[in-house]
Chain A
Amino acid sequence: MRLIFKDLNILRSIIHAISTSIGGEVKGIVESAGTHLPNILDFSVFGVLWKEGPILYLVQEESCPPSFTQEVVKNVISVFSVLGERRMEVGQVTLQVEKRKLKRKQMMMDPQATLKSYLALPLAIEGEIIGCIFVHSEQPNAFDAQHLQFFSVIGYQMAATLKQFQRFSSVKKEAIYDTLTGLVNRRYFEERLSIETQKAFPASSDLSVIMVDIDHFKKVNDTYGHAGGDEVLREIASLLKNSVRKQEDMVARYGGEEFVLVLPEVSLEVASTIAERIRRSVENTPIDIGETQAHLTISLGVSSFPTHRATSKEELVKMADLALYDAKRGGRNRVCIFTGS
């Protein structure tokens, strides 16, 4: 009885560790479980096959021979296919292995050890399978009904936590992204620009902003309908996104047919070159709308810190907006740089 109480306390610790895993990444949850599991089960490899990817996370005994790991991977794939999932090949699965001392004190695994027993459970929540968890051992009959009970509680907690994280990230995604274009929305743009100005202003490092507006967009809607207009917005958004650095720069939908680009550590000169390149790219790319093609142009306004001496993020955006106004007034399909007027 005392032994069961001890095991239940360990189980509580594992559940707590899983549900409070920092970051909400699958890897973190696997590591939390892998840290505590040896207190309750005697095993050589603990693994989670995450369906998205697919990625196989393994926490394994440090003396585990590579041949044993290979056997584990094959076993995981074979079991997963029994669960009605598509058959995977070993090469399709991304493997993330973390080696740890899982065996007691001096115990080492035999370099010739082979897989003798395992437990596997689907990570199933609300009738949907999101992955599978496993424990493997080189000992025959290493697991019994009580081990399975403990393992199932751990699996349930992992599935619930992962599902919660999945939901949270999907809500977060909706709050950040514009659903039509897939670009970040204006709210996120404001937040990110604050961060970038806080970095650039005290250090006097370059920070450029480009405002973009599609020329005669009303005509597009009138000619091709709103579905055609949406197609144009998506295509232009994609062109803009592909014209800048993926990690450092940001392209946001500012509203309607207006977009904004934030380019950290980019001088006015370079920003102007980028703006001109984007303008030409849009001018030279026919956009498919249904069975017809539309030739469109855009106008762009550029502002840059420290050249234009903006004192706030609002001012930097205002400067780019004024430059965009100049481009429109000057006949459209052009790039204008803020002139201070």
Chain B
Amino acid sequence: MREGKEEKWSSDLIVDLYANLLMEIWGIVSALIGEAVLGFLFTLAIQKVGEKHDFLKSLKASEEGISLDEMRKDCRNIAPAEIHRGFQSLINQLTHLFSALTEGVINKELFPKVLPKVREAERMISQK
């Protein structure tokens, strides 16, 4: 019973961590390329990664920003490691798109802020 509670708690924690990370990515990249283009790229990345990590399909992106509300509910019963892998794939897909479009320009701004947080998530998962 206690283990189950811990599992849920850690799933929430991973989602929170990545939610903050995605918001941060949104903030940095939207200042460079605008919300309309970024919303389109997020949607594209979600579609692609969602094929493998089903829970990501309920993550919504538009010109208004990213909405994780629906996805949070879906994540309650998903293992933290799977959530971590899904978000990691999403971030990889996004950076792949950014790189294809602007070579290193976006990623140069993004990596110093994003990579430490991805490592932090990895550390949390490995401790479990």
Contact = CB atoms under 8 A, between A and B. Distances in A.
B105 A143 contact: yes
Interface in B18-55: 31-34, 36-37, 39-41, 43-44, 47-48
Given A127-B62, A148-B105, A149-B31, A79 B37 contact: no
A145 B110 CA distance: 11
Given A145-B108, A149-B32, A153-B34, A119 B101 contact: yes
A122 B40 contact: yes
B102 interface: yes
B32 A152 contact: yes
A120 interface: yes
B100 A82 contact: yes
Contacts of B103: 117-119
A84 B47 contact: yes
A121 B33 contact: yes
A156 interface: yes
Most buried by B among A127, A147, A159: A127
Contacts of A79: 100-101
Interface string A111-126: 0000001111110111
A155 interface: yes
A144 interface: yes
A129 B47 CA distance: 15
A83 interface: yes
Interface in A66-82: 79, 82
A214 to B, nearest CB: 49
B71 interface: no
A120 B100 CA distance: 8
B36 A156 contact: yes
A152 B44 contact: no
A129 B37 CA distance: 9
Given A152-B32, A152-B34, A124 B100 contact: no
Interface in A102-147: 117-122, 124-127, 129, 141, 143-145, 147
A153 B30 CA distance: 11
B70 interface: no
A144 B97 CA distance: 17
Interface in A316-332: none
A257 B46 CA distance: 52
Given A79-B100, A82-B97, A148-B102, A121 B37 contact: yes
Given A79-B100, A143-B102, A148 B32 contact: yes
Contacts of A125: 36
Contacts of B31: 149
Contact of B37 (A82, A117, A122, A145): A122
B82 interface: no
B114 interface: no
B109 interface: yes
Nearest to B62: A127
Interface in B67-113: 96-97, 100-106, 108-109
A145 B100 contact: no
B40 A129 contact: yes
A152 B33 CA distance: 5
B100 A156 contact: no
B34 A120 contact: no
B36 A124 contact: yes
Interface of B: 31-34, 36-37, 39-41, 43-44, 47-48, 62-63, 96-97, 100-106, 108-109
The 10 tightest CB contacts between A and B, nearest first, are A124-B40, A82-B100, A152-B33, A120-B101, A152-B34, A148-B105, A148-B32, A84-B44, A156-B34, A124-B37
Given A121-B102, A122-B101, 16 more contacts: A82-B96, A82-B97, A82-B100, A84-B44, A119-B105, A120-B100, A120-B102, A122-B40, A124-B36, A124-B40, A125-B36, A145-B106, A145-B109, A148-B102, A152-B33, A156-B36
19 contacts: A82-B96, A82-B101, A84-B48, A119-B102, A119-B105, A120-B101, A121-B101, A122-B101, A125-B36, A126-B63, A127-B39, A127-B40, A127-B62, A129-B40, A148-B33, A153-B34, A155-B37, A156-B36, A156-B37
